[in-house]
Amino acid sequence: MQTSFDAWLIKRLAAHGAYRAAQDSTHGRGVIAALKEFQRKLSLPVTGTATAVTVAALRRDPRSGGNSAVAGEAPKIPAEPVWMREARRHMGLKEIAGPKSSATIMSWAKRFGGWIVSFYTNDDIPWCGLAVGHWIAVTLPEEQLPSNPLGALNWSKFGRGLTEPALGAILTFKRPGGGHVGLYAGEDGTHYHVLGGNQSNSVSVTRIEKTRCQAIRWPTTGGEPIGGPVRLSASGVPASKNEA
């Protein structure tokens, strides 16, 4: 089984003595802190992100003073940013109809605490904004979120604007009675393909009409987008009619 990029990154940061948190495959606060420490140590630009020059330095053997590369190649730096990779870990997650609620979705609200945990009492409440807020908060802990991340259209002023989408860009949409927010996974001629929560009551990828899009945003601490628009076929992918 091929090692994921995030698992490899944690392993190499630990080998260089920069990572001290629990070793799993989640790219969160511990990884960002370790990347910054490693970058400072080597006088690299301190971004807290796994840039190409940082990955090249991590491949080197710390026992040799950083002068020789370790055996084997590093996994390719993913085009999808860390928050999108975190979102993909939850693909297929569904809300639970009736009096019970998904423990995972409810845990996202509990992590935010404050008024959100008291407001978010069951997963029948629209949770697309909650999902995007959680995915970004756990992978970009220094990022400033909307004051009300549950409001999908509040994400229209999040971070910085993009003139064209790239993998992981935050897209907001109007819908009857409200809005929707998700992550850009690609596009065809008429629709964006959106990875998001509360899409047919689950985390999924669905097509949403481009004419409904209100904003294309990018986290200020998320580094630079890799690539630009991703062209996909509409074949076999239904258009979304349920994001509430």
Q: Each residue of 174-195: pLDDT tens digit?
A: 998 899 999 999 999 999 999 9
108 occurs within a structural domain: yes
- Residue 120 CA, chain-centre distance (Å), reads 22
Q: Among residues of the chain, what percentage have pLDDT more than 90?
A: 61
Is the confidence at residue 71, as pLDDT, over 80?
no
185 in the same domain as 109: yes
Q: How far is 118 from 97, CA to CA, in rounded Å?
A: 20
Q: What is the dihedral of CA 218, 220, 222, 227, to 10 degrees?
A: 50
Tell me the pLDDT of the chain averaged across its residues.
Answer: 89
134 in the same domain as 42: no
Q: How far is 212 from 180, CA to CA, in rounded Å?
A: 10
CATH number at residue 53: 1.10.101
52 in the same domain as 169: no
Return the higher-pLDDT residue of 119 and 99: 119
186 in the same domain as 152: yes
161 in the same domain as 57: no
Task: Yes or no: say if 60 and 41 are a contact pair by the CB < 8 Å rule.
Answer: no
Which whole number is the average pLDDT over 195-217?
96
90 in the same domain as 45: no
CATH number at residue 142: 3.90.1720
Specify the number of domains making up the chain: 2
104 in the same domain as 48: no
Least confident range from 19-33, 102-116, 138-152, 224-238: namely 19-33
pLDDT value, residue 27? 75
Q: Each residue of 155-172: pLDDT tens digit?
A: 999 999 999 999 999 999
156 occurs within a structural domain: yes
Q: Which domain holds residue 127?
A: 82-218
Q: Can you name the residues that pair with 60 across neighbouring β-strands?
A: 69
186 occurs within a structural domain: yes
- Per-range mean pLDDT, top range of 21-25, 69-73, 142-146: 142-146
Which whole number is the average pLDDT over 42-69?
82
